[in-house]
C-alpha cells in the first residue's frame, strides 16, 4: 500500500492469505541504523532505537517487534556493547514492543540500529502524500540535533545543552503519534537526516502542494540557534547540511532573511519530531494536547499554501 515511490518513512502492506488475522490491520516495516552521536553507550542505544521506532509512528502505527543490527570493532569492550544493547532493549520495551533477534558483525566504526515491524489500522494510516491546502504544519520537537552533535564532537557543548540534546533524541514519538489519532491529520512524517526542509519537500512533492514556512516559528534546542548563527556567519552550509540545502534548492522560493534560520532548517536531525498537517481550526487543541503529553516544543511552523502541479511544488517563507 505504501512503497518507495513517495520516499515515505516506512513500507506498509496488507496481510493476505489464510494467515490474515483481519483486513483492517496493516503491516508497517522499516530499518534504520546510525553511528554514535553521543559518548554514553547506553544513551546511544536508546537514541538509535528511538530513531528507528519513529518511522513506524510516522505512519500512524505502533511497533510490535524489532531485530537488532550491531556493528562494532573487535576491540570494543564487551561492557560497552552490553550498554548499547541495553539502551535499545529498554527503549523498545518502553514502546510496547519486543526485540526478537538480530545480527552483528565486526566493523571499524560502531553502528547500531533496528529493523522494526509494526501494525496500523486502516483508519489511522497516514503518509507523507496526503497534505491538504489550508492545513497548518505542526512540528513536535525542537530542531538542532546536528548542530549540537557537531559541537559535542568539537568539545564545545556545555552540560546543560548536552542534557537537552540527549533527552530530545531519546524521547519516543509515541505520545505525539497517539495524540494525532484524535485529530484530523492530513499528512504525517518525521524529521530526520534530510532536515526539516528536506522532509517538507518530500511532503510537498508527494502531496502535490506548496508550503509556506515562518522561519521565526522554528523551535530550536538550547544553544542551537546560537550555533546556527555562528555557522551561518562562518560559511555556507557544508557536509550533510550542505547536501540537504542542495537537495531542496530547486523547490525553494528564495531564502529566509537570516542565514541562521536556513541553517537550522537544513540541519540533519537524529530522532527528530513528527510533522503533522492538520486543519487550522483544530490546531490550538492539537497543540495543547501535545504539550500535555510531554511534547512541550510542539508548535505551528507554517501552512499548506495551495495545490501545485505534479513536480512543481514550492516552499516559501512568510510570517504566520
* CATH at 108: 3.30.1330.10
Give pLDDT < 70 ranges for the chain: 1-10, 13-14, 16-23, 234-236, 238
Cell (9 digits) for 115: 529493523
Q: How confident is the model at residue 320, as a pLDDT?
A: 84
Q: DSSP character for 250?
A: G
Distances (CA, A) of 85 to 55, 133, 149, 163, 239: 20, 44, 21, 21, 29
Q: How confident is the model at residue 279, as a pLDDT?
A: 98
Distances (CA, A) of 70 to 42, 108, 112, 258: 14, 12, 5, 41
Q: Residue 26: beta bridge partners?
A: 14, 120
Considering the domain architecture, whether residues 96 and 165 belong to the same structural domain is answered as no
Considering the domain architecture, whether residues 153 and 110 belong to the same structural domain is answered as no
Considering the domain architecture, whether residues 104 and 205 belong to the same structural domain is answered as no
Q: How confident is the model at residue 175, as a pLDDT?
A: 98
Q: How confident is the model at residue 7, as a pLDDT?
A: 52
Q: Please, what is the average pLDDT of the chain?
A: 93
Q: How confident is the model at residue 181, as a pLDDT?
A: 97
CB 118 within 8 A of CB 62: yes
Which residue, of 76, 97, 124, is where some domain finishes? 124
Q: How confident is the model at residue 19, as a pLDDT?
A: 54
Considering the domain architecture, whether residues 153 and 263 belong to the same structural domain is answered as yes
Cell (9 digits) for 203: 511532503
Considering the domain architecture, whether residues 159 and 301 belong to the same structural domain is answered as yes
Q: How confident is the model at residue 13, as a pLDDT?
A: 62
Considering the domain architecture, whether residues 246 and 119 belong to the same structural domain is answered as no
Q: How confident is the model at residue 12, as a pLDDT?
A: 73
Considering the domain architecture, whether residues 151 and 84 belong to the same structural domain is answered as no
Question: How far apart, in whole angstroms, are the C-alpha atoms of residue 43 and residue 28?
Answer: 26
Q: How confident is the model at residue 254, as a pLDDT?
A: 85
Q: How confident is the model at residue 189, as a pLDDT?
A: 97
Domain around 150: 136-317
CB 131 within 8 A of CB 277: yes
Q: How confident is the model at residue 6, as a pLDDT?
A: 55
CB 272 within 8 A of CB 191: yes
Nearest Cα residue to 9 out of 172, 190, 244: 190
* Residue 25, H or E segment: strand 25-34
Considering the domain architecture, whether residues 237 and 310 belong to the same structural domain is answered as yes
Coil/strand/helix, residue 188 = strand
Considering the domain architecture, whether residues 105 and 142 belong to the same structural domain is answered as no
Per-residue model confidence as pLDDT tens digits over 83-121: 999 999 999 999 999 999 999 999 999 999 999 999 999
φ, ψ (nearest 5 deg) of residue 120: -145, 140
Q: How confident is the model at residue 23, as a pLDDT?
A: 66
Q: How confident is the model at residue 5, as a pLDDT?
A: 56
φ, ψ (nearest 5 deg) of residue 59: -100, 5
Q: Are strands 299-307 and 136-139 parallel, antiparallel or unpaired?
A: antiparallel
Nearest Cα residue to 215 out of 318, 99, 93: 318
Amino acid at each position: 500500500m505504501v512503497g518507495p515511490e513517495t520516499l515515505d518513512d516506512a513500507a506498509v502492506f496488507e496481510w493476505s492469505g489464510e494467515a490474515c488475522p483481519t483486513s483492517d490491520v496493516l503491516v508497517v516495516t522499516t530499518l534504520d541504523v546510525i553511528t554514535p552521536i553521543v559518548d554514553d553507550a547506553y544513551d546511544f542505544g536508546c537514541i538509535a532505537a528511538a530513531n528507528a521506532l519513529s518511522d513506524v509512528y510516522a505512519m500512524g502505527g505502533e511497533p510490535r517487534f524489532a531485530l537488532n543490527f550491531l556493528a562494532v570493532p573487535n576491540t570494543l569492550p564487551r561492557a560497552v556493547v552490553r550498554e548499547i544493547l541495553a539502551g535499545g532493549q529498554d527503549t523498545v520495551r518502553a514502546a510496547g514492543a519486543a526485540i526478537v533477534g538480530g545480527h552483528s558483525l565486526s566493523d571499524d566504526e560502531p553502528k547500531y540500529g533496528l529493523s522494526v515491524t509494526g501494525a496500523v489500522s486502516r483508519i489511522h494510516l497516514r503518509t507523507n502524500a496526503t497534505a491538504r491546502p489550508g492545513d497548518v504544519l505542526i512540528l513536535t520537537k525542537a530542531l538542532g540535533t546536528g548542530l549540537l552533535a557537531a559541537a559535542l564532537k568539537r568539545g564545545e557543548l556545555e552540560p546543560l545543552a548536552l542534557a537537552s540534546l540527549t533527552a530530545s533524541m531519546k524521547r519516543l514519538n509515541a505520545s505525539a503519534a497517539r495524540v494525532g489519532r484524535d485529530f484530523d491529520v492530513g499528512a504525517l512524517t518525521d524529521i530526520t537526516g534530510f532536515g526539516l526542509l528536506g522532509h517538507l519537500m518530500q511532503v510537498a512533492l508527494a502531496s502535490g502542494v506548496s508550503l509556506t514556512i515562518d522561519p521565526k516559528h522554528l523551535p530550536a534546542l538550547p544553544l542551537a540557534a546560537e550555533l546556527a548563527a555562528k555557522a551561518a556567519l562562518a560559511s555556507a552550509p557544508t557536509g550533510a547540511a550542505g547536501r540537504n540545502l542542495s537537495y531542496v534548492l530547486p523547490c525553494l522560493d528564495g531564502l529566509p532573511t537570516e542565514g541562521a534560520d536556513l541553517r537550522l532548517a537544513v540541519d540533519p536531525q537524529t530522532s527528530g519530531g513528527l510533522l503533522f498537517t492538520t486543519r487550522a481550526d483544530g490546531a490550538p487543541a492539537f497543540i495543547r494536547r501535545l504539550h500535555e503529553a510531554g511534547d512541550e516544543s510542539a508548535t505551528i511552523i507554517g501552512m499548506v499554501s495551495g495545490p501545485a502541479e505534479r513536480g512543481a511544488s514550492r516552499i516559501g517563507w512568510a510570517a504566520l
